Amino acid sequence: MMSSIEHVASPSSNPELMTFDDEAFSRELVALMSCAFDAAREQILAREAVVSEASEKLMALGIMLAVQAGEREVQALKDIAVDAASGAPQTSQI
Q: What is the pLDDT of residues 4-27, one digit of tens each?
A: 554 444 444 554 555 565 556 888
d(CA 76, CA 80): 6
Q: Name the more confident of 13 and 93.
A: 13
Q: Give residues with Cβ within 8 angstroms of 7, minimum separation 6.
A: none
Tens digit of each residue's pLDDT (9 = 90 or more) over 23-80: 568 889 999 999 999 999 999 999 988 999 999 999 999 999 999 999 999 999 999 9
User: Which amino acid type is present at position 92?
Assistant: S
Q: Name the more confident of 86 and 6.
A: 86
Q: Give residues with Cβ within 8 angstroms of 64, minimum separation 6.
A: 5, 9, 20, 25, 33
